[in-house]
Amino acid sequence: MLDFIGYCLSINTKIENWPIDVSLFSVGFLSLSVVYDYGYFTYLGFSFSEAPTTISDHVRSSLVWLPTLTIAVLAIFIYESAMKRLEGGMSEEELITTSPTPKFTKWFRASPAYLIIIIAVAIPILWFAGIKPPLRAQQFSLIIFWFLFHNWVYSHPNIVSKTSLKIYLIGRWLPAIVIYIAYTGAISAENTIELHKNNYKLVLSNSTIEVNLLRTFQSYFLVWNSSKHNYEFISSALIKSYEPVDKPEQNKKSNKHIHRRQKAARLISDVNLKRACARKMTLRTFIKRRLDLKPYPERIRFR
């Protein structure tokens, strides 16, 4: 990842090349947004021919996938930078040869990769056991399989010698980013459907319906109609107003959480009071009350 980021930062930044760089960045940015929407609609069972999306809708999708991708890249960058600093900038071969136990050091440094590969291979096996892995697990497994395939392709010395560093880095990281963003779109669709938290009342020109609002586009609203058990694209021109609706179950859950927090606060205050009282009473009285298991009196006299 450090090599890929270094390559991106080393791109020629002359003023005369800025239009080309901006054009390439815009095309790549829009393409990744389309990939995100592809994963989103594929999970819902749609295709782009059925979804009335525009370019502005795809650009707005970047507000969802760009923060998560930025955080992931930043986390990898910080981790690899910290490891480089702790290892003194030495390469893998230098660390192994300078170690007093080269064989153990080689095995120990490769053991996390073996564990990751085992987990990635175990995830598809769950399909044969009749267990559907979560989308996050599928995303992780597919990215690891791509890295393994890429390592196998470039394990031949002739291929490495005939491939430029630019092609190598782009070929290694771009498919992984595409897989990550496509599954991020599918995960977003899954969360929106399963949580059913966006319940809205839509006031149309001739009726009022209560639906689960999945997503808003420039000219349409994508909703799940629970009464008809289907997805609907409703034109924004037909919607006069819309407002969120609190489900009774959600109110019960929220009230339950409030009661739990209040109960926990009372327990904490009681415990703090008892501890304060125990510190100020004599040791003999404290032990006696603990052994007798008697409740504390309403008033406690302090010595």
**Average pLDDT per consecutive 10 residues, the chain (303 residues; last block may be shorter):** 52 59 79 91 85 85 84 86 80 80 83 89 88 90 93 88 85 91 90 72 81 83 80 84 68 52 52 50 48 40 26
pLDDT at site 142: 94
Give this prediction's pTM.
0.68
pLDDT at site 13: 52
pLDDT at site 86: 81
pLDDT at site 248: 53
Q: What does the domain layout of the chain look like in residue ranges? A: 2-89+134-195, 199-244, 248-292
pLDDT at site 266: 53
pLDDT at site 180: 92
Q: How far is CA 268 from CA 271, 294, 299, in A?
A: 5, 20, 19
The correct answer on CATH 3.40.50.700 for the domain covering 199-244 is no
pLDDT at site 176: 92
Residues 152, 117: Cα–Cα separation, whole Å: 14
pLDDT at site 291: 45
pLDDT at site 111: 84
